[in-house]
Structures are given as structure tokens and as C-alpha cells.
Structure 1
Amino acid sequence: MKFNIKHALGITVLLCSQAMVAQFYVGVQTGIGHIKNDIKAATPGYQIQHSGAVKAGYIYSITNHFGIGTGLEFSQYKQNVTLNNSSEALTNFEVDPAGSAFIYNITTSNYREEQTLHAIQIPLFLQYKTNIAKGVDFNFRAGAKYFLPVDYKIKSSAAFVNGTAYYPDVNLYIDDLPEYGFGGQGNYSASGEYNTKGTIMASYELGFTFDINKNNALYTAIFVENAYGTILDQNEDKSYIGYNSTSVNDRKANGLYSTDKDAKIRPVAFGLTFGWNFK
């Protein structure tokens, strides 16, 4: 126990001593964000909206030109998704309250999905800098971020939703039995959330630092970020509008991305970074 405490104290002192000689920074990112997908069941159309982040961290200098940086960031992605061919029935297997399996068919009119993704990002990057004029440095940063979604919420709406059932064992088709969840519903609206997991994101920044005074500098840059792995965590395919066994109303919003459990859902962003460095 004494050995572990001694080494833990040593590591803490080392990290603190490195942080004391590091350059601290705070900043914001703003730009275009897109949550890409490769779902097979449907081809959604997009209305790309804003993405942004706030961040803080420090850069520890290795040499006059190179440094290693890390920190903590909180990001947000927003986009609208529409279903291009909503008249096409999307099918899924369901089980009714009696335990009988059936094929659930969903068609919609003017389906729309508002998506909001919040995430914590932990960056680790290598920085190269060189002085190009008095009080002006050129900076290039390259590295990776651990992208951990906090929540991925959706708001689904449609002018009309119709859910029908086909029981292949008895060759039975049901399209109008609302007390068992089969039939149409107008002005559909519901909220839901995707199950998510963490992934790795590549990150690059190219910019300049302008000295304001002896202890502070303004940092501006362009950035590009691209996640490699999927953030969707799902073990089965689902209907994008769920089955309610007792009514055609109150159908759960599972979301378009839930139709393919193997889909790769990857955030991508580019834009501008504005920061303030404390020397």
C-alpha cells in the first residue's frame, strides 16, 4: 500500500510540474457538422445545420517547435433528416401480445427527423509552430479525439403514418385494426433517443497565433474532424416508427438509423476555431 501511494504521489507531482510549464488555452469551434450514415433500408435526405464546441486544455512544449496537447471539449451537432421515398414500406419483424410473429410494414408521408447530438471529446494532438513575423506564429495540429456521446436525441414527425401487419404462417394481412396497433394516424409526432457508444475521431487544425501581450495570444484556425467508428450501439434492426400493440397512437420514435443495426453513424465537421492562449 505504501509503495502504491508513493508512486501515485510521484506521478501527481510530475503531471502538476508539467502543467505548470504548459501553455493553457480556451476556445470555441463553429462550422458545418454532418452525422454521416450508410443505412441500407432507406435513403434519407439531409438539411445540414450547425455544429460547434467549447474547449479548454494545455500544450506542453517538447522543443521550440513541437508540443503535445490535450484537454476537454463539449460539442453539439444538429441536423434535420427527411425520408426521400417515404411512400415505400419499410418492414420489420415484430411479435404481438399473443406471441405470434408478424411482418410490420410502415409507410409515412412527409417524414422528418430533427437530430441533436451532444458529446464529450478528449483530444490528444501534436502541435508544430514556427514564428513567421513579429508576434505571429504559424500552427499546425494533428491528432485524435475520443468522441463520447452524452445523448443523441430525435424529434420525429409525419403528416401521416400507416402501420400494417402480415402473418406469413396463416397468410393473413391486417391494415385496419386500430385497437391492436394496425392502421393510420395523422399528424404524427414523437421524441426518442439513439443508443450510442464512444469512438475515435481524427482531428486537424491549421492556423495562426497573434500575440496580444506578454502573457496572452489570440489563436485562429480552420479545422477538419472525421470519426472512424460508428457511434450507434444497437443489437437488432428496428422499425423507425415503433409498433404499439394497443393503439395506432403513441408509436415510439426509434429513428431512421435504427433500421440497420450494422450501419456506420459517423460525425464529420469542419469550420473555424477561435481560442485564447495563456502563456
Structure 2
Amino acid sequence: MLFSTVATAQFYVGVQTGAANLESDVAGTVAETKMGGAVKAGYIYSFTKNIGIGSGVEFSQYKQNVSLVSSSTTLTNYEVDASGSAFIYNVTTSNYKEKQTLQALQIPLFLQFKMNINKGIDFNFRGGVKYFLPVSYKIKATADNVTGTAYYPDFNLSIDDLPEYGIGQESSYSASGEYETKGILMSSFELGFTFDITKKNALYVAMFVENGYGTILDQKNNQSYVGFNPTSTNNRKANGLYSTEQNAKITPAAFGLTLGWNFK
């Protein structure tokens, strides 16, 4: 009876843009946040004149540049060479930079409160949660120089120049990679106004804030941020700075402006 006599559906499409940050707890790294954005579509069921519930689908993108706080830092990881012997792999880079691009699907579920404040103008507040599902988290890494050295503790042996076994120096490093990811929940809030354009259409303008909970990374072990190639110092995979800590917490957060079009 509620749906047949009271509830009405309102469809919407829109875009949002603003500061989009991937918050990290990985020590020794610094991120330069860039603008991000999303496109969205969905619907809202209004149970009363003021209250409704909404859902839909969104596609979002985050971008940022990540680098080491100190360019002379040496990071250590355990590796296995071509003969099956384990060793300690030390990597030092010069001017290492990592361009990250995260794309994700978001499924929102929110409660809307609206109140008419003037003819053709409504105040709107939306609050709820989103399921944030990364589609891809790609990285492009570059460095002026990469030096990888090996230490075999069983033999007390250090090697710094054996390129045919992947140990040594490489200039003008460039490689691509991708982080393994998983879905998380986000809180989401919007505060804004709708302006009636016609009887069936309205412009929606609002400020939004979103914050994730948990980590989007799904890593099985620690890895060197510049991978080890057992046959050459070239073609070393870009594992990324966040791969150096298996339990690294990388969480999306964003705020900015939403612009939408409502169909009554």
C-alpha cells in the first residue's frame, strides 16, 4: 500500500569532481594528490514529501603521484635467484616517481531529506554508504637510476655487479604495473539544492564528502617496489611502493562538487 499510494520515483544523472586522495600508511612515501571525478546515475524513491531512499551506480577515477621522501633510501626485500637460492635484495633509486590511476565502480545506498525553501527551490541532504569496488589500480614508474644489490647471508656474500643475474645498475628506468585490490565500504554525504527547470526536470548542485574504511589493497606478501629479474638488470617489473608492506592500508577519500539532473 505504501508504494502504490505514496512512493514516487525520481531518476538522476550527474557528475562530481574535486580532490580525490588515496590515503596511505606506508612509511617513507609521499603522495601528490590530483583532481578526481565520477559519473553517476540512479533513482530515488520518495516515501513522503521530505524523505526518500536512493541507489544507483557510479564510475570514479583517482589519480596521484607517489615518490620516496628521501631519494637515497634503500629498501630491502627477500628474493630467490635463478638457481633457487634465497638472498636479500637491496634496491636504491634516484628520482623515483610513480603515477597511479585507480578506477572503481561504486554502488551507493543513501537516505535523502529534502525541504522546499522557496518556489522551485529545495534544500537536499543525502547520507549513506557506498560499496567501492576497484576495477583497476595501475601504476607507471620511472627513475633516473635503479641499483639492485644482493646479499647472501648463508655465505656472507655481497654482489653489486652481476647484470646477467639481475644484479647491478640500470639507467632511465621505466615500467608499468598494477596493484591487486578488493572492495570496501565508504561513507558518503551530500549537502545542496535542487532548482526546478520544468515540471519534470530539476538541476541539482551540492557539495559532497566521501571516506573509505579499510584498505583496497589485497596483497599476499611483501615485494620490492622495483621487481627482481633473475636474468637481466633490464625489464624489471614495477611492483610499486605500496607493495613493500603486505598489510599496507590504502583508503580512498574525496570531497568536492556534484552537479546533476533530476527527472521527476
- Structure 1 residue aligned with 2:90: 105
> What's the secondary structure of 2:106's corresponding residue?
strand
Partner Cα separation in structure 2 for residue 110 and residue 178 of structure 1: 22
Aligned residues with identical type, % of pairs = 68
- Structure 2 residue aligned with 1:169: 154
- Structure 2 residue aligned with 1:233: 218
Partner Cα separation in structure 2 for residue 62 and residue 53 of structure 1: 28
AA in 1 matched with 2:83: A
Partner Cα separation in structure 1 for residue 42 and residue 229 of structure 2: 48
Q: How many residues align?
A: 262
Partner Cα separation in structure 1 for residue 186 and residue 162 of structure 2: 47
Question: Going by fraction, where is helix more abundant, 1 or 2?
Answer: 1
Deviations 1:185-238 (A, max 9, x none): 110000000000000011000000000010000000000001101000101000
AA in 2 matched with 1:28: V
- Asked whether the equivalents of residues 195 and 203 of structure 2 are also in contact (C-alpha less than 8 Å), the reply is yes
Any residues of structure 2 matched to 1:27-66 within 5 Å, and which?
27-40=14-27, 43-66=28-51
- Structure 2 residue aligned with 1:24: 11
- Asked whether the equivalents of residues 82 and 231 of structure 2 are also in contact (C-alpha less than 8 Å), the reply is no
AA in 1 matched with 2:19: I
Any residues of structure 2 matched to 1:141-220 within 5 Å, and which?
141-220=126-205
1:115 aligns with 2:97: no
- Asked whether the equivalents of residues 25 and 250 of structure 2 are also in contact (C-alpha less than 8 Å), the reply is yes
- Structure 2 residue aligned with 1:125: 110
> What's the secondary structure of 1:99's corresponding residue?
coil
> What's the secondary structure of 2:234's corresponding residue?
coil
User: Can you give the 5+ residue segments of structure 2 that lack an aligned partner in the other structure?
Assistant: none
The structure 1 segments of at least 4 consecutive aligned residues displaced by more than 2 Å after TM superposition are none
Higher mean C-alpha deviation, range 196-205 or range 79-88: 79-88
AA in 1 matched with 2:45: Y
AA in 1 matched with 2:116: N
Deviations 1:38-71 (A, max 9, x none): 014xx22222111100000000011111100000
AA in 2 matched with 1:38: D
- Structure 1 residue aligned with 2:209: 224
Question: Going by fraction, where is strand more abundant, 1 or 2?
Answer: 2
**Cα displacement (A) at 1:82:** 1.5
- Asked whether the equivalents of residues 8 and 47 of structure 2 are also in contact (C-alpha less than 8 Å), the reply is no
- Asked whether the equivalents of residues 82 and 165 of structure 2 are also in contact (C-alpha less than 8 Å), the reply is no
Aligned residue among 22, 35, 52 for 1:67: 52
- Structure 2 residue aligned with 1:271: 256
